[in-house]
Structure 1
Amino acid sequence: MKYNKITAIIQARMGSTRLPGKVLRKLEDRTVLGHVITRCLAVPSVSNVIVATSNLEQDDVIADEAAEYGVYCYRGSEHHVLSRFFEAAQVVKTDVVVRVTSDCPLLDPAITEQLIQSFMNGEYDYARIKLTNSFPRGLDSEVFTFKSLKQAYEKAKTEYEREHVTPYIYNNPEQFRIYSMPNLEDHSKYRLTLDTPADWELISRIYQEIYTGSIFGWREVLDLLQKKTEWVKINEEVEQAHSGE
């Protein structure tokens, strides 16, 4: 199935618990959020990119950073992130949402595009990257129809469902056609997301080693970490948080 408009919505705010202000930390020539925006803009099927942040004053800088990259910033509820996403998607009248979190500066546009194509070809309501015994965390993206998002917005009851956007969808497979895209090899031991000082140490090293001003893919990261095996230990004990902001 083809859709007229596919919008990447990047979830971002300054109030991270374990690494406050992480999304505006500089990774070489741009901020973490800047890298995420750049990578989302490079996904071929994505029509436009939006940053969705809270309406708190502390997140004014998030809106300013989005403007630096020429992308729209929607501001909504701090904690009811599901409503923030629904309202953002509604404003731009999109058919499909690609949900990305701002703590993934190693997001690979090619993998996200592969997910979108799988979503469309299978005519699913919701698709995501498979992380268990599959891809590394940090390539995370989810794709879902606006219709499914609207249904979740109208029917989600619990605080968890409202705070994390998609649980209502993927926890109700009887209502939605769901797909989890696997990787043929298990690379789940690699943690490529940014949530703690240890994550920052690893990602900073990766960027210093590989980045030359253009987007590099996750396979290049994998090749590097297979050579620098001691680097993997930097953040291997980090327990994953759930907010993604």
Structure 2
Amino acid sequence: MILVILQARMTSPRLPGKAMAPLRGEPMVWRQIERIRQARCITKVVVATSAEPADDPLAGYLVSRGQTVFRGASENLADRFLRCIEAAGPATHVVRVKGDCPFVDPGVIDESVRLAAASRAAYVSNRVRPSFPKGLEVEVATVRALTAATHEAEPDEALARSPFALVRGRPDLFSQAHCSAGRDWSHLDWRVKTPADYAFARAVYDALHPADPGFCMRDVLDVLQGRQDLARWAA
């Protein structure tokens, strides 16, 4: 099984509640789920959030829509990931997507998963050698590597870092392969972290989503070329 874990929460310091902020009439987290589900190489999607009361509305909404949710204690990030993986069922690989990425590209997910299978690398990503816009990062790792890296880590390190970070930081122990956009777009930042970023996401969704809900990175770049009001995200 190829499992996708989408991390989402309601307590973003600069944009509280952004996971539930609407994009074309649906919460941002749901738009992410829709896009992730268009990837052909994945088996299951789980949204991972905290057990804190602040995340109750998010979890409740997702469960009401039939989406699998895993809730864990806010401390010990690595352990929370491993328990999420275990609860989801037997998996060979896990794909990690962050909750501030409404432009996550299903084609990039598929490319990363295929590279993981072809290379047999323990870890595959497009972030170690960045060429995609920030907000299109995808990480894929084997469950075996995630588990081993967590067990190898010092307790303080496991508390603060995800298993993906632990694997990524040890290329001497875990083989790696890297996806490339073919051109360096890494100076662009399409993550939603502030109200201005959210306004940008709304503008792009308004321009592209009605005609093609599965729009890709190239479509966003095309929109930005003709929009002076969005120049900040195209510079």
AA paired with 1:99? R
Post-superposition offset of 1:119: 1.1
Residue of structure 1 aligned with 2:53, choices 48, 57, 61: 57
Length-normalised TM-score, structure 2:
0.91
Post-superposition offset of 1:39: 1.3
Question: CA 1:72 to 1:133, structure 2 compared with 1: closer, same or farther past 3 Å?
Answer: closer
* 1:170 matched residue in structure 2: 168
Indicate yes or no: 2:94 matched with 1:97.
yes
Aligned residue for 1:187, secondary structure, equals: coil
Aligned residue for 2:183, secondary structure, equals: coil
Q: How many angstroms apart in 1 are the aligned matches of 2:116 and 2:68?
A: 25
* 1:84 matched residue in structure 2: 80
Residue of structure 1 aligned with 2:189, choices 166, 176, 191: 191
* 1:140 matched residue in structure 2: 137
The answer to whether the 8 A contact 1:131-1:137 is kept is no
Work out the number of aligned pairs and report it: 232
Q: How many angstroms apart in 2 are the aligned matches of 1:156 and 1:202?
A: 39
Residue of structure 2 aligned with 1:25, choices 21, 25, 37: 21
Deviation larger for 193-202 or 107-116: 193-202
Gaps of 5+ in 1: 237-245
Question: CA 1:113 to 1:55, structure 2 compared with 1: closer, same or farther past 3 Å?
Answer: same
Deviation larger for 177-186 or 104-113: 177-186
Gaps of 5+ in 2: none
Q: Which string of whole-angstrom CA distances, capped at 9 and with x for unpartnered residues, describes residues 6-36 of structure 1?
A: 0001111111111111111001121110011
Q: How many angstroms apart in 2 are the aligned matches of 1:158 and 1:198?
A: 38
- RMSD value over aligned CA atoms? 1.9
Indicate yes or no: 2:45 matched with 1:37.
no
* 1:220 matched residue in structure 2: 219
Percentage of pairs with the same residue: 28
Question: CA 1:235 to 1:221, structure 2 compared with 1: closer, same or farther past 3 Å?
Answer: closer
Deviation larger for 125-134 or 58-67: 125-134
Post-superposition offset of 1:79: 3.6
Aligned residue for 1:179, secondary structure, equals: strand
The answer to whether the 8 A contact 1:51-1:72 is kept is yes
Question: CA 1:174 to 1:120, structure 2 compared with 1: closer, same or farther past 3 Å?
Answer: same
* 1:241 matched residue in structure 2: none
Residue of structure 1 aligned with 2:105, choices 102, 105, 108: 108
Q: Which string of whole-angstrom CA distances, capped at 9 and with x for unpartnered residues, describes residues 159-217 of structure 1?
A: 45543412211111111001221121111232111111121121111111111172211
AA paired with 1:43? A
Aligned residue for 1:98, secondary structure, equals: strand
Residue of structure 1 aligned with 2:148, choices 147, 151, 173: 151
Deviation larger for 5-14 or 64-73: 64-73
Length-normalised TM-score, structure 1:
0.88
Q: How many angstroms apart in 1 are the aligned matches of 2:101 and 2:150?
A: 25
